[in-house]
């Protein structure tokens, strides 16, 4: 990373050629994260709008292209730790989202199997009832109506498991794969030219990355106040 006063300095991962680049522009790093989340910085959720923007851009890129995130920051470079802290926090967040999505997919399949067993049992009962009605009242139009109605209801009961196994699972799986790609993407910071050199001191992710290190006192970093 360049010195804080360097114009157009950058930090973080190198973005290889051929990667699908997601670009975000913010005034401060804090805008990327949920301000009311009390978790430590590296465990904090992304701001919903920031997440929606990143996920939306990522989903528009080809699924076989590895992703990268470039954050255009409207201030000068801060501590040497901030790019790594940002990448770790973003990877941690999307890693959790990928895990949650896999859990949701397993739960969906569990419900699908249970629904299928129930629907098959109900369909078998409906077929048996329809057969009995037809056998005992072969010439009754009412009986025929009842028999057909029972069969229709039995097949309707199959719709939910069919919907799960044919339609519901693949969007969740695609979302999980996207989150996994986002959880390992290179993250790069690009700073604004000619910005005040000490603006990073009010940006809590940058300050938090330095807090607790021996360099904190030397840099004059104090714990940020409430947002």
CA–CA dist 35, 32 (Å, integer): 9
Confidence category of residue 139, pLDDT binned at 50, 70, 90: confident
Which whole number is the average pLDDT over 62-75? 93
Q: How do beta strands 10-12 and 20-26 pair? A: unpaired
pLDDT exceeds cutoff 50 at 64: yes
pLDDT exceeds cutoff 70 at 4: no
Q: What is the pLDDT of residue 195?
A: 65
CA–CA dist 207, 227 (Å, integer): 13
Neighbours of 123 (CB within 10 A): 17
3-state secondary structure of 221: coil
Confidence category of residue 6, pLDDT binned at 50, 70, 90: very low
**H or E element in which residue 12 lies:** strand 10-12
Q: Which residue has the higher pLDDT, 77 or 224?
A: 77
pLDDT exceeds cutoff 60 at 121: yes
Which whole number is the average pLDDT over 48-72? 95
Q: Torsions phi, psi of 149, nearest 5? A: -65, -40
pLDDT exceeds cutoff 90 at 146: no
Neighbours of 19 (CB within 10 A): 17
CA–CA dist 159, 136 (Å, integer): 29
Which whole number is the average pLDDT over 116-145? 83
pLDDT exceeds cutoff 50 at 88: yes
Domain ranges of the chain: 10-100+184-219, 108-176
CA–CA dist 227, 132 (Å, integer): 72
Neighbours of 4 (CB within 10 A): 18
Q: What is the pLDDT of residue 198?
A: 63
Determine if the pTM surpasses 0.85: no
Lowest mean pLDDT of 54-63, 69-78, 110-119, 201-210, name the range. 201-210
Which whole number is the average pLDDT over 139-153? 79
Q: Torsions phi, psi of 129, nearest 5? A: -65, -45
């Amino acid at each position: 990373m360049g010195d804080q006063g360097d114009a157009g300095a950058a930090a973080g991962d190198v973005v290889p050629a051929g990667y699908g680049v997601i670009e975000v522009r913010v005034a401060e790093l804090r805008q990327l994260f949920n301000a009311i989340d009390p978790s430590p910085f590296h465990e904090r959720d992304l701001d919903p709008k920031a997440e929606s923007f990143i996920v939306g851009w990522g989903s528009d890129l080809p699924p076989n292209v590895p992703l990268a995130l470039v954050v255009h920051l409207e201030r000068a470079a801060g501590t040497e730790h901030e790019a790594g802290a940002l990448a770790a926090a973003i990877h941690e967040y999307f890693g959790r989202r990928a895990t949650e999505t896999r859990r949701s997919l397993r739960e969906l399949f569990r419900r699908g199997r249970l629904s299928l067993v129930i629907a098959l049992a109900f369909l078998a009962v409906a077929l048996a009832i329809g057969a009995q009605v037809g056998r005992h009242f072969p010439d009754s139009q009412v009986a025929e109506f009842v028999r057909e109605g029972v069969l229709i209801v039995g097949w309707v009961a199959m719709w939910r498991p069919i919907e799960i196994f044919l339609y519901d699972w693949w969007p969740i799986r695609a979302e999980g794969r996207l989150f996994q790609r986002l959880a390992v993407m290179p993250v790069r910071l690009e700073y604004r030219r000619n910005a005040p050199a000490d603006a990073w001191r009010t940006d809590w992710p940058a300050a938090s990355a330095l807090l607790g290190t021996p360099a904190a006192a030397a840099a004059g970093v104090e714990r940020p106040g409430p947002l």
